[in-house]
Amino acid sequence: MKTHYSIREAAWLLNIDESHLCAAIRRGVLRAERRRSRLVIPAAELRRMLDGGTR
């Protein structure tokens, strides 16, 4: 089981455009982390978004 997803993978799973996902990260709606100089989405954060987006 994956612990982190790339921006592209997360956008595909959420069925949104990558630019919308990046905008959500900038606004603080979605949490991302830097791993090896790349932004990744933690699996728990992605599950939260898929379950309705409440914190």
Of 43, 35, 37, which Cα lies nearest the Cα of 14? 43
Cβ atoms 24, 30 nearer than 8 A: yes
Q: Is the pLDDT of residue 8 over 90?
A: yes
Q: Is residue 17 part of a domain?
A: yes
Let me know if residue 29 belongs to a domain: yes
pLDDT band at 16 (very low <50, low <70, confident <90, very high): very high
User: Is 11 inside any structural domain?
Assistant: yes
Give the number of domains in the chain: 1
Structural domain of residue 8, as residue ranges?
Answer: 4-50
Domain presence at residue 31: yes
Residue 34 lies in a domain: yes
Answer for the pair 46, 13: CB distance below 8 angstroms, yes or no: yes
Q: 22-47 pLDDT, tens per residue?
A: 999 999 999 999 999 999 999 999 99
Judge whether 55 lies within some domain.
no
18 within a domain of the structure (yes/no): yes
pTM of the model: 0.85
Residue 55: the pLDDT is 58
